[in-house]
Structure 1
Amino acid sequence: MVKRIPDEEQIKLGIRTLDFNIPEDHISRFVVDFIDEYYPLLGIKENKKKKGRDSFPVKEMLKLLIYAKIEHIDSMRFLADMVKYHDVYKFVGNGICPSERSLQRYREKYGKYYNELLKATLKKASDVDYTDFNEVSIDGTIKKAYNSKNKVITEKETEILTRYFEGGRVSQEELDKLHKPAREILENKKISNQEKLYLLDDIKTQFTLSGQKSVPVTDIEARWMKSKKGNSQISYNIQSAVDYDTKMICAINVVQAPTDHYQLPKIVDKAINNTNVIPRFVLADTIYLNEESLSYLADNQINGVIPDRKQSKEKIGRLNKNPYHKDHFKYFPEIDAFECPEGQIMYFFNKYTEKNDDLDKPDKIKRLYSNYGACKACNCRENCLSSTQTHRTITEYGGSLKKAMWEKMETEEYKEEYAKRSSVEGPFGILKEQFHIESEVVIGKTKTEERILLDAVAYNLIRLFNLEQEIKNDKEDIVDFCEKISVQEKLEVRATIF
């Protein structure tokens, strides 16, 4: 950019580059350098227009979108203003001035490359030896979907509307009983009846897939889920894998399942694909402890670190206060038996398989332990048994893999390893509190995942930048200390600082 600079003696013509006002250690420089270095790995082919103005360069647009996320800007209207007037955004975008509509279009069109950008951040961390991805923690959280909990349609209403638009017989009384969301579909004149039938057919599919009693109309792929406060809301389940050493996000997986039970294989697969490393340890909480997860870890020769319910409660000091609760029955793996609070041994006596309603999930294995004779002669029967019980039975779920996991989690080595699992909580908190993922206006499972991946890319770049600054600062601090001692003590300090 050319600008005239007034001077007391004469008028001088000065040349200033776009970065003249940007500090050398500013994060915007780090973002620009990162995209310049790793953009070729994305393999994006830009088609040039034969007519009209050329499209905005994708590389510069990605820089703007990522840097805007780092600054927690989600409004493309606000970003369009910033690229016109703010020096940092002019530098990041290399002087381009896209409109709000162009920014929105590029953000959606190139969403499929956000996971590749996430891979690039992980490659950068590996290239500079910040981590070897030995320990990966996984966890899930729910994100509220862009759909009011009142804007839902029932299966019966879907059937009535389908019959009506297909020309079938529908009474006026049935139409009058429709709730507001269903009536909006009925009275909407902006779309044809055929398009309404396509929408209703998609809603029917979601009823089949979800098994739930109602489907949201705005975002039909979202599901009813319970928040940590116990409230039901229309949400998506966000699975995340986080590296312990750098606290960087290794993978994001958006699913429709209301719980985390069977999500471990998918999120760990994504983490392995993104890092090109099979982790030595995968750390997860109790909800992931099942035969499917344990079989996956065993097949891939990964050390799982997953406590059972009792071990988890014991760690946080929340064992049941009732002394005769199952929490206070001690297990002895060497003889495969339990000891009750009164010191009696309860032996294994039966095992059977319980069919899982979901054909894609493995059957449940139940193991039963009891000691009828000891219970019959026990003086504490009234405290331990209900009025209908003749003896106490302990039921354990899972086979040999779960038993082996329990034994591992009783050792100090694995207890210390599990203490590192909390590293997965930090990124979730930052994405919710600083990146405001709950308020992002995005519809559909795929688009939701793409937007959160963009947040994850911005988060990872902040982590990389901070790690780089920490190393530089540590080195500068040591140099300053050495120089200070040298001057004060009048000594010649010889040191090599790496």
Structure 2
Amino acid sequence: MKPKSCRKIPFKTTDQNQLTILPPSLDELIEPNHMVRFINAIIDKMDIDFLIKEYKGGGRAAYHPRMLLKVVIYAYTQKIFTSRQIAKALRENIHFMWLSGNSRPDFRTINRFRSSRLKGKIEEVFTYVVEQLLELGYIELNDLFIDGSKFQANANKYKAVWKKNVDRYQRVLQEKLKELLKKIDNENDLENRLYGNKDLGELGEDVTLSSHQIEQIVDILNERLKKEPDNKELKRAKNKIEKDYLPRQRKYEKQRKLLNGRNSYSQTDPDATFMSKKRDHHNNTDLLPSYNVQVGSENQFIVNYTINQNANDSVLLKPFMESYKRCYGRQPNRVIGDAGYGSEENYAYLESEGVEAYIKYSSYYKEQKKSYKENPFLIDNMRYDPELDRYECPAGRYLEYVGEQENVTSTGFKVKHRIYRSESCEGCALKEKCYKGQTARVVRVNVMLNDYKKQVRSRLNTEEGRKLISKRGSEIETIFGQIKHNLGIRGFLLRGLEKVKTEFGIIAVAYNLKKMFNQMKEYGLVNEMYKYSANIFFNLNRASQCQNLGLKNTILETLERFFIEIKEKIVIKYSSCLFNAKICFV
């Protein structure tokens, strides 16, 4: 017998030139329970006439939009986002090859489909996926958890245009222009031709000359130069206005149009607004061109989304809910959100729509503190006399009603405050603790907002309210965590508001399908879970031998009923999913 060191070591043969009798099938290489089969089955069921209508017809045969849609959505589930990476996967990855039927569109075709063909159409794909979730019982569209997060735009952070700078530069330009016009003879003739019969009192002393009016000034000066060709001062003034002031005024007007009420934008993506974004867990922030993405969820599935240019979440609730209503034809029963949405306007809107608001307001937690409740100098803790409509302060003096003040928000909502003024605070021994002003104390009371706060407090302090609020963190924050951390999407690739909407629509569809697939795949673990539950019964039975028999039986019956219900729900739910998706899992 040969020693071990002399024995021949057998290796399996590897022959890269080995031929096969029949060509290999890609379908045989794809696992039966792979995600690519699931996405293929889901998209195959979809009616895509809305996409086919985007093609004019004629000419060379185009790649089918159904195939391209499958490829793009599957790519996003696999953390492949750029068109070149997707095109590379179509050449090298067997899952992409199988999904595309060995078609190999180049990166330009993929990018054109994503940014142009899907623009304004991805919402229908997203709605279809949500309807599938609703049909399969994953969601009920009763509760809506809402939150927002900022995603960085594909824009240069050093190419910022700020509204305050535009206003300042334009103001300086107007001053220089008017100063120059004063030096020109016959100023009255210029004013008459520009303003007609209106005087400066009607127009305003700080009236701004538009680019059109500056063009008129140039025309007037050209007419005068024909009569006075040797007037060098007039010629210099005309050249200064025409070649310097007029182009700058046109630029400022264009910038103000692009701002459209915002405080900033980026020159490389004018639709992106500079927003404060967290840099790290120490709450350090950076001002970066971004979009504010509002997401609504149920059972950790995205059921609605909007892309916004405003960093303030409070003013975005109403358009978000209107978008939800357009998609599903109705509003949810309850909306759960953080204090960023707690405003009188939002409470009033949700009440008018018949939606229960489980939304905190900014001072909700502050009001729960003992120091707040026991502070007698706060207007909320002062004694109010409804008959005389006045408050009594701790010193025994009265704050009388003196009138109302109406403010209008940026969205046009009118907020009314009732004004109460103290008769006098002079000589009051408690003034240092109560009020630091020099005059009598004045307070503003928003009666409507206080009523809404009372309703919200009563809801949030119930057992159901506490459950919903505690669930909100794991419900909506999980989605942003999955997208930003696990998928690695912290910013957009496309530029422009409409294209960004399309891109996030693809992200939302990919996220929902991936989550649906993962939950369906858990069906294979049901039997294991049931075996584990039987083991729990056995151990509980042994542990309960020396305890009260009635208590032991109660525990066992409760656990057994719980596991039976869970098993039945999971089997029914996932078997219907498997049937609809035409997929067989182990």
Counterpart of 1:427 in structure 2: which amino acid?
I
Does residue 352 (structure 1) correspond to residue 404 (structure 2)? The answer is yes
Task: List per-residue Cα deviations over 1:69-121 (Å, max 9, x = no partner).
Answer: 11111121111111011111112222211101111111112132211111112
Alpha-carbon distance, 1:202 to partner: 4.2
Residue 367 (structure 1) shift: 3.7
Q: Which amino acid aligns with 1:221?
A: D
Residue 60 (structure 2) pairs with residue 45 (structure 1): no
Could you tell me which amino acid in structure 2 is paired with residue 238 of structure 1?
V
Instruction: Work out whether 1:90 is the aligned partner of 2:141.
Output: no
Partner of 2:415 in structure 1? Answer: 364
3-state SS, counterpart of residue 258 of structure 1: coil
User: Residues of 2 paired with 1:406 and 1:332: CA distance?
Assistant: 22
- Which residue does the alignment assign to 2:471? 420
What's the C-alpha RMSD, in Å, of the aligned pairs? Answer: 4.4
Determine if the alignment matches structure 1 residue 219 to structure 2 residue 269: yes
The answer for unaligned runs of 5 or more in structure 1 is 1-5, 179-184, 187-195, 487-494
The letter for the 1-side match of 2:103 is I
Partner in structure 2 of residue 381 of structure 1: 431
Give 1:135's aligned amino acid: D
**How many angstroms does 1:415 deviate by?**
3.5
- Closer, same or farther: CA 130–152 of 1 in aligned 2, 3 Å: closer
What residue in structure 2 maps to residue 181 of structure 1?
A: none
Partner secondary structure for residue 23 of structure 1: coil
Q: CA deviation at 1:435?
A: 3.8
Residue in structure 2 matched with residue 142 of structure 1 by the alignment: 150
How far apart, CA to CA, are the structure 2 residues paired with 1:449 and 1:318? 46
CA apart distance, 1:468: 1.5
Query: TM-score, normalising length from structure 1?
Result: 0.76
Q: Distance in 1 between matches of 2:170 and 2:265?
A: 10
C-alpha distance after superposition, 1:105-145 (max 9, x if no partner)? 11112132211111112111111111212110112222222
Distance 1:438 1:163, change over 3 A: farther
Q: Quote the offset at 1:418 in angstroms.
A: 2.6
Q: Tell me, what secondary structure is at the counterpart of 1:13?
A: coil
Q: Residue 232 of structure 1 aligns with which residue?
A: 287
- Cα distance, 1:146 vs structure 2: 2.5
Name the CA distance, whole Å, in 1 between partners of 2:536 and 2:465. 44
Q: Deviations over 1:317-370 (max 9, x none)?
A: 7988996785x9548999799999979898884662423164x42111214567
- Per the alignment, do residues 332 and 448 of structure 1 end up closer, same or farther by CA in structure 2, a change over 3 Å counting? farther
SS of 2:438 mapped into structure 1: coil
Q: How much identity, in percent, do the aligned residues show? A: 20
Paired position in structure 1 for 2:71? 64
Distance 2:215 2:476 in 1: 50
8 A contact 1:123–1:275 mirrored in 2: no
In structure 2, runs of 5+ residues without a counterpart are 1-13, 174-209, 219-237, 279-283, 539-563, 572-586
Measure the CA separation in 2 of the matches of 1:325 and 1:463. Answer: 52
* Corresponding residue for residue 27 of structure 1: 35
CA distance in 2, matches of 1:293, 1:299: 10
1:365/1:46 Cα in 2 relative to 1: closer, same or farther (>3 Å)?
Answer: closer
Question: TM-score, normalised on structure 2?
Answer: 0.66
The residue type paired with residue 152 of structure 1 is A
Mapping of residues 164-179 of structure 1, within 5 Å: 171=240
Report which stretch shifted further, 457-466 or 388-397.
388-397
CA distance in 2, matches of 1:338, 1:420: 41
Distance 1:313 1:79, change over 3 A: farther
Question: Do 2:334 and 2:358's aligned partners in 1 also have CA atoms closer than 8 Å?
Answer: yes
Name the CA shift for 1:20/1:137 in 2 (closer, same or farther; >3 Å): same
Which of 518, 526, 535 in structure 2 is aligned with 1:474? 526
Aligned 8 A contact 1:143 1:235 in 2: yes
Deviations 1:365-418 (A, max 9, x none): 214567769x88975432332152544746446447524534434532434333
CA deviations 1:254-273 (Å, max 9, x no partner) are 12223122211211222233
In structure 1, what residue type is equivalent to 2:275? Answer: M
SS at match of 2:22: strand
1:263 aligns with 2:304: no
State how far apart, in whole Å, the 1-side matches of 2:289 and 2:371 are.
32
Cα distance change of structure 1 residues 357 and 134 upon mapping to structure 2, 3 Å threshold: closer
